Amino acid sequence: QVSVLYFARSAELAGLRCETLLVPQEITSLQLWEEIVKVHPRLAVIRDQVVFAVRQEYVLLGDQLLVLQPGDEVAIIPPISGG
């Protein structure tokens, strides 16, 4: 189980700010994104703009293997604009 935190547009699309999801312990960042989109299909529209932070470290979507521990935090961070 990991805690998924949603920020800005991702929170709007998911309809919540945080939740706990059950995912495999070893998973690529892209597979993790796909698991999250299965639960919240509306998030698919920000796929090309989103950045993950796993245990407060940025992770790009791709083939990078993540080894998740129970209780790890995964933050979904869409691009932030402003001046």
What's the pTM value of the predicted model, to 2 decimals?
A: 0.89
Pairing of strands 51-54, 57-59: antiparallel
Question: Are the C-beta atoms of residues 31 and 19 closer than 8 Å to each other?
Answer: no
Domain that holds residue 14: 2-77
- Chain segment 20-78, per-residue pLDDT in tens: 999 999 999 999 999 999 999 999 999 988 888 999 999 988 998 999 999 999 999 87
65's tokens: 């293997």
Round to whole Å and give the CA distance between 70 and 83: 37
User: Quick check: is 64 in a domain?
Assistant: yes
Give φ, ψ of 36 to 5 degrees: -70, -40
In the chain the first and final C-alpha atoms are separated, in Å, by: 37
| Residue 82 within any structural domain of the chain | no
- Establish if 63 belongs to a structural domain: yes
Would 37 be classed as within a structural domain?
yes
Total number of domains constituting the chain: 1
How does residue 80 score in pLDDT terms, banded at 50, 70 and 90? low
Polymer length of the chain? 83
81 pLDDT higher than 70: no
Which pLDDT band, with edges at 50, 70 and 90, does 82 fall under? low
Q: In this structure, is residue 83 part of a structural domain? A: no
Measured at the alpha carbon of residue 71, what is the angle toward residues 79 and 25, in degrees to the nearest 5? 85
